[in-house]
Amino acid sequence: MLVIRPIRQSDYPVLMQIAEESGAGFTSLPVNEQKLKAKISRSEQSFAAAIDSPGDQGYLFVLEDTSTGEIVGTSGIEASVGLQTPLYHFHKSTVVHHSNELNVFKQVEILTMCNDYTGVSEICTLYLRDHYRQGLNGRFLSKVRFLFMAEHMQRFSKLVIAEMRGVADETGLPPFWKWLQSYFFSIDFPTADYLIGVGNKGFIADLMPRHPIYVSLLPETAQQVIGEVHQHTKPALKLLENEGFFHRGYVDLFDAGPTVECQLRQVQSVQQSKQAQVRVQQVSAEQTLAICNSSTENFRAVFSKNAAMNEAQELLVSPELAEALQVQTGDMVRFLPLDKVTD
């Protein structure tokens, strides 16, 4: 059975493996022992804390195959970004160049560096290991964050964002970065990416262009990838678009990947999730449900067809599911249909 739970210190070795597997561009998991162990400690403290408003908390989940004990994926939420270190983006907008005398009217796209998303919540660190990228596993790993947020709404901002990985060439180098590096930086992409991952962002304010950049002046290869996602990120973007996320012109500074956003209460999985009391008994149903308990520190989530609503509006769950969720008859859970596709 696949179970999602909060990360713990004993998961560090596999978290380092995942950080190495994920490669450049996955800045939320830097290949750095000190930073990864600090991330785990911060997550443990966040899950354990009594919170009535979002602050500098970070929640990191792992997907565990209980049949083998293997950690096969990660998923995370930042409660309020940009409080300790700035969260920078380029914002793509349009300006008008107009001359009545010459009868010229021209709209021009520009990129302006900003930190407009300071204080919002961010879903992040979504990674599923290759041999588990099948069936409903990826959807479960993505949607579990919204179950947790719906159950603990006070811990998060009204607005939620997700930064999507941008386009890279066959060597892993973003075409957008090639232009940026040639004019503003003397370091390579892996170094810049690593510095971002470990929180050393001072060089951005020091070296990035301080004035708007005219998109039409960029190389064609850089222009083409602004707001586009890496080929491996397209399924994740599709999932979020089905949830109601949309792109409002904000892109990553280095790979120009889009940042998408949605009001938390408008996220479809939040709206469609329901609470119910549990009744433990053997059951089999047609529909696959993602289910989580109501705990924070001992949060657990599973997905299965061994659960269904009865006429008393109780959620019947098999003994195996109840054990995995750490619940018993009478406890409250939140659930969501997992095999329903929203077009």
Q: How far is CA 60 from each of CA 23, 40, 46, 296, rounded to the nearest angstrom?
A: 19, 7, 9, 12
The proportion of the chain whose per-residue pLDDT surpasses 70, expressed as a percent, equals 93
- Alpha carbons 196 and 130: distance in angstroms, whole number: 25
pLDDT of res. 254: 86
Give the predicted TM-score (pTM) of the model. Answer: 0.90
The model's pLDDT over 208-266, given as tens digits with 9 standing for 90+, comes to 777 899 999 999 999 999 999 998 889 889 999 999 999 999 999 889 999 999 999 99
- pLDDT band for position 194 (cuts 50, 70, 90): low
Note whether 252 and 88 are within 8 A (CB): no
Assess whether pLDDT exceeds 70 at residue 199: no
Q: Domains in the chain, ordered, with CATH? A: 2-89+115-269 (3.40.630.30), 273-337 (2.40.40.20)
pLDDT of res. 100: 84
Q: Which two tokens mark 341? A: 């596709």
Stretch 17-40: mean pLDDT, rounded? 85
Stretch 177-194: mean pLDDT, rounded? 76
State whether residue 162 is helix, strand or coil.
strand
Say how far residue 331 (Cα) sits from the centre of its chain. 29
| Sign (positive or negative) of CA dihedral 78, 82, 84, 88 | positive
Q: What does residue 160 show for φ and ψ, rounded to 5 degrees?
A: -120, 135
Note whether 81 and 159 are within 8 A (CB): no
DSSP state of 340: P
Name the amino acid, one letter, at 25. Answer: G
Q: Is 230 a catalytic residue?
A: yes
- Which is catalytic among the residues 98, 230, 232, 247? 230
